[in-house]
Structure 1
Amino acid sequence: MKSPAIKVTVKKDKSYYWCSCGLSKSQPFCDGSHKDYEKGRKPIHYMSPQDKFMSFCTCKKTEHAPICDGNHGHIDR
């Protein structure tokens, strides 16, 4: 199974807004698509403490949003 995560280079002290609803066409980041479909949905803010590679979750099953924690392996098929 291919990992439903997207590896991104993040920069120290830069703000990132992770899509928590799955509607964004700019995965893994929010593009505001939820506004028309889901009330109460908000992106999750993330600010990196350093420059690094990071795997952002795209299955939305992570318990450590926005970081992929491998829960996609437990998704019902």
Structure 2
Amino acid sequence: MNTLVTKLDHIWISLTLRQPWLPATTTSKVQLSTLPPEPFIASKKPFKVELVGGKRYSWCTCGHSKKQPFCDGAHKLKAPGLMPLRFVPEKDTTAWLCGCKYTNNPPYCDGTHKQDFIVSATLHEQTDS
């Protein structure tokens, strides 16, 4: 019995290591990081918007949306680890929504854009790709 298990283990190990039926090109790249990507700084200033009470909004958290400060789905391709922040204001109001994406009070601006790491950051032109 012990010999049978050893022979079977040997066959299994050799088949597992060789796998001649799989071409080398079928191996896929695996992203090992579990951290979400850093947001793209869309603007160094907040966006002044008129919000309607009871209406559902999706604030862009990745910074790649072309409909800033709101989400247009760009995160699906450009920042898959980030999702929009959905919120519903209680009443009609004028609000300043964060453009730098680093606020501690999302989606509202808290002045984080005045910190050195935002002020000194280079804004990149968004591309269609």
Q: TM-score, normalised by structure 1?
A: 0.91
- CA RMSD between the two structures: 1.5
- Specify the structure having the higher radius of gyration (Cα): 2
Q: What code does the residue aligned with 1:64 have?
A: N
**Equivalent residue number for residue 53 of structure 1:** 94
Query: Which structure 2 residues correspond to residues 36-75 of structure 1 after superposition, within 5 A?
Result: 36-75=77-116
Shift of 1:40: 2.0
The answer to whether 1:15 aligns with 2:56 is: yes
| Bigger strand fraction | 1
Structure 1: give runs of 5+ residues left out of the alignment.
none
How many residues were matched structurally? Answer: 76
Q: TM-score, normalised by structure 2?
A: 0.56
- Of all paired residues, the percent bearing the same amino acid is 40
Q: What code does the residue aligned with 1:67 have?
A: Y
**Equivalent residue number for residue 3 of structure 2:** none
